[in-house]
Structure 1
C-alpha cells in the first residue's frame, strides 16, 4: 500500500482569526472554502502539497496540548523570525539546533496549536 499525505484537520474556534494566521501571515493560499453539515470549512495549501483543513467549531476534537504540531520548511529561520516579529507573532520555543543541518522554532496559532518552522542546510 502506498500512501501520500493529503491534509491535516484543525478544528478552530474562530475561522477568520485562523485564516488570517495561516493565509495572510504564513502565506498559505486558500484552495477552497465551503460549508458542510452546517460547518464552515477552508482548505489551505499549495498545489501538489498536503493541505491544512480548518473547520469552524466550538468544541475542538484535538486540544492544542495533545502533542500535534504542523511543520513548515523555511529558507531562512532568521528572516522568518524578523517577519514574525513584524507581525506581532512571538516565538513560543526556540530556535533549537538539534544538529548542524537543522534549526527550528515553534509559534502558536490562534487556537494554541504549535506551528514549527524549520530551516535545513
Structure 2
C-alpha cells in the first residue's frame, strides 16, 4: 500500500510575478525560502514557507492561461490557511485593500471561515481553528 507522509508543496502559477510575490510575502506574511530565475524557461520560482510545515512554490511563466472560473472549475477548488483569530486575520489582509467575503460558519464543524482571492483570482480561504 502506498504511504503518503504529508503534502510536500503547493504550486501556484501567477501572471504578474512582482504583484504576486508582494501579495504572498507582505499581505500573507509568508517567509521566502529561496528565489531562483530559470533563464531557459523565462520563469521565476519562489519557495515560500507556511508555518514551518508546508511550502508554496510560486511560479511565473510567459503568458499563462487564465483560470476557467471561480471556484467551481475542475481541479483545485481553493487553498485554505488555518488561523487562530479570523477577525484579526481579516483585518490584516483588508488593510492591504484585499476584498474579503463575509465570514461564514461551517454547518458541520461550527468553525468560522471566509474567502478572498490572490492577485490572479485564485480562491483562498482563512479557516479559524
Measured against the shorter chain, the TM-score band is: 0.7 to 0.9
Q: Deviation at 1:62? A: 5.0
- Paired residue secondary structure (2:106): strand
Q: Does the 8 Å contact 1:11/1:54 carry over to 2?
A: yes
CA distance in 2, matches of 1:112, 1:44: 19
Q: Which has the higher strand share?
A: 1
CA distance 1:18–1:84, change in 2 (3 Å) = same
TM-score by length of 2: 0.81
- Paired residue secondary structure (1:45): strand
Please list every run of 5 or more consecutive structure 1 residues that lacks an aligned counterpart in the other structure. Answer: none
Q: Report what 2:14 is aligned to.
A: 12
Please list every run of 5 or more consecutive structure 2 residues that lacks an aligned counterpart in the other structure. Answer: none
TM-score by length of 1: 0.86
Cα offsets for 1:22-55 (capped at 9, x unmatched): 1111111011111233311101114742211111
* 1:51 paired to 2:55: yes
Q: Report what 2:34 is aligned to.
A: 32
**Structure 1 residues 30-109: aligned runs within 5 Å:** 30-36=32-38, 37-46=41-50, 48-57=52-61, 58-60=63-65, 63=68, 65=70, 66=73, 67-91=76-100, 93-99=101-107, 101-109=110-118
- Paired residue secondary structure (1:94): coil
Runs of 4+ in 1 over 6 A off after TM superposition: none
Q: Does the 8 Å contact 1:70/1:114 carry over to 2?
A: yes
CA distance in 2, matches of 1:63, 1:8: 19
Give the number of aligned pairs.
119
The structure with the larger Rg is 2
